[in-house]
Amino acid sequence: MRTQERTTTATGRASRAGRIPPLLLWFGVAGGPAAWAVHLGTAWSVSELACLAPSSSGVLLHGGSLGDGARLTVWLGTLVPWLVALGAVGACALVTRRRRRLRERSEGDGLATERVSLLLVLGWFLSLMSLAAITGGGIALTVLEACA
């Protein structure tokens, strides 16, 4: 993805106003789904594995109790990924605003601008869906009785 290179201002300083930071764009695209994967891997697996209790024959059966340590892990496994997904939505908003400014000034390569636009649509969709999925998972973990 090629965007406008650095320009020099009247004071001789290099300006990055004409660029869209690639890492910010890619965080907007992949941050939400990665956060959702972490949420699934921590919150849901910990809530299930903490409920396993050994039977008299040594086989692990569902029926234990969710302790305080596991409950804290479940909450942190929901809250931290939710904040990361919210940050990915914020990254999409920042890149959208910067892209709009570049378009108003007619700066940037046409093909690169279209690529950024496509990635932004993908980023908005994935980040908002991940935020909704983590929110729904957090509600389910709160409402449903653990180890039932």
- Is 20:102 a contact under the CB 8 Å cutoff? yes
pLDDT, average across residues 90-119: 83
Please give the residue range of the domain that contains residue 122: 22-143
Partners of 54 in the β-ladder: 60
Does 2 fall in a domain? no
Between CA 130 and CA 134 the distance in angstroms is 6
Does 53 fall in a domain? yes
Dump strand ranges (E) for 58-97: 60-62
Among 22-26, 36-40, 47-51, the range scoring the smallest mean pLDDT is 47-51
Does 122 fall in a domain? yes
Does 17 fall in a domain? no
- Is 98:113 a contact under the CB 8 Å cutoff? no
In this predicted structure, the answer to whether residue 100 has a pLDDT above a threshold of 80 is: yes
Name the phi and psi angles at 98, rounded to 5.
-65, -40
pLDDT tens by residue, 70-96: 788 888 999 999 999 999 999 999 999
Q: What does each C-alpha distance from 17 to 3, 80, 101, 102 come to in angstroms?
A: 11, 31, 9, 9
CA terminus-to-terminus distance, the chain: 51
Does 109 fall in a domain? yes
Does 137 fall in a domain? yes
Structural domain count of the chain: 1
